[in-house]
Amino acid sequence: MAKLLLVSSDSQSCHLLQQALEQDGYDVVTTHRGDEGLLAAISALPDLILIDMAMAGVNGWQMIEILKTAKATKHCPVIAMADSAIGGPQLLRAGFDTYVRKPLSFRHLCQRIKLLLTILSTEAELRPHRSPPGTPSKLQEIFPSQPQAGTPRVVYVDDAPTQDQPGVEMIQRAGYGCVRISDSLQDLSQLLELQPQLIFIDLAMPIINSYELCKQIRRLPEFAVTPLVIVLDNDNIVDRVRARIAGASGFIHRPVQAQEVLQVLIKYLYRFSMGL
C-alpha cells in the first residue's frame, strides 16, 4: 500500500480527500501546516506528497524548495494542488512533478498519483535493493554532517559543559553554524561579537538567571527582534509565562528532540536562508 502525505490548510477538504484516497487503497497522512508537512515528510517517509498551494506560514513554494533540496526527499514525487491563477510552467519550474487544478477532479488526481507511483516503482526496480554499508539514514541525509558556508549563525547558551551537547550537534547536522557559550558571565559580549540570527537559552543555568539574561538581550538594539528559544526541563505553564514576559520567542523541551530542533530552524531561519 502506497503512503501519501497530504498537506492542506483547508481541514474540511483535506478530510474529504483523505477519505476518498483511503477508499482508493492508499495510506494517507495529513497535516494542515507547511512546517508540520516538512516534519512529516521525514518521519512518515511517504511515497508521494500532495501540497495545497494556498498554505499559511511555510507555503507551497517554500515547501517544494526545501523538499527538492534535501537529499532525504528530493526524489519523492510532489503534486501541487493549485488554482488557475498560478501558471503550470511556473509550478514545474519550482520543482513540482505535476499539478492538478482546484476545484479538484478526483479522477484526474488519481490518474496523476498512479502515474507518478508507477514511474517511482520502475526506478526503484532499476536500483539495487540493498543499500551499501555506511549509507546515511533519511534523517542523516536531511541533516548534513557539516554546516554550509554562509548559513545563519546559531548560539546555544548554557552553563553545563555536556548537558545540551546533543542539541548543538543537531543544529550543526541541520547545516547551520552553531556556537556554544558556556560562560554565562560573558554572554552579552560574545553575542555582540557573534551577531547570531537565532539564540537558544537553557532555562536551568546555575550561574545566571535565564529570565534576566533574556531581558538583557532584548534591551540591546542588535537583538530586539532576534528569536530567543528557551530550553525547558518540563512543560511548566509558569516557566512559559515568565519566559514570554522576559522576551522569549519560543520553547523546546529537554531531552532535546531532532524534530523539535528542525521545527525551530524552519520557523525562524528559513526566510533568512532564502534571503527573504
The whole-number pLDDT of residue 23 equals 95
E-strand ranges in the chain read: 3-7, 27-31, 48-52, 78-82, 98-101, 153-157, 177-181, 198-202, 228-232, 250-253
**CATH, residue 100:** 3.40.50.2300
- Residues 108 and 74 grouped into a single domain: yes
Out of 64, 91, 126, a domain closes at: 126
- Residues 43 and 114 grouped into a single domain: yes
Question: Is residue 137 one of the residues assigned to a domain?
Answer: no
179 to 146, 152, 264: CA distances (angstroms): 13, 11, 17
The whole-number pLDDT of residue 136 equals 45
Q: Looking at the 3D structure of the chain, how many domains does it have?
A: 2
The whole-number pLDDT of residue 109 equals 94
Question: Is residue 54 one of the residues assigned to a domain?
Answer: yes
The whole-number pLDDT of residue 275 equals 45
- Residues 105 and 163 grouped into a single domain: no
Answer left, alpha or beta for residue 175, where phi above 0 means left and psi between -120 and 50 means alpha.
left
- Residues 183 and 236 grouped into a single domain: yes
Instruction: Please list the rounded mean pLDDT of every run of 10 residues in the chain (276 residues).
Output: 93 94 96 86 89 85 86 87 92 92 92 86 56 44 43 76 68 79 71 88 76 87 91 82 90 82 78 48
Cis ω for the linkage preceding 255 (within 30 of 0): yes
Parallel, antiparallel or unpaired: strands 153-157 and 27-31: unpaired
Provide the domain limits for residue 52: 3-126
Single-letter residue type at 94: A
The whole-number pLDDT of residue 25 equals 94
**Grid coordinates representing 160?**
553545563
- Residues 15 and 45 grouped into a single domain: yes
Is-above-0.75 flag for pTM?
no
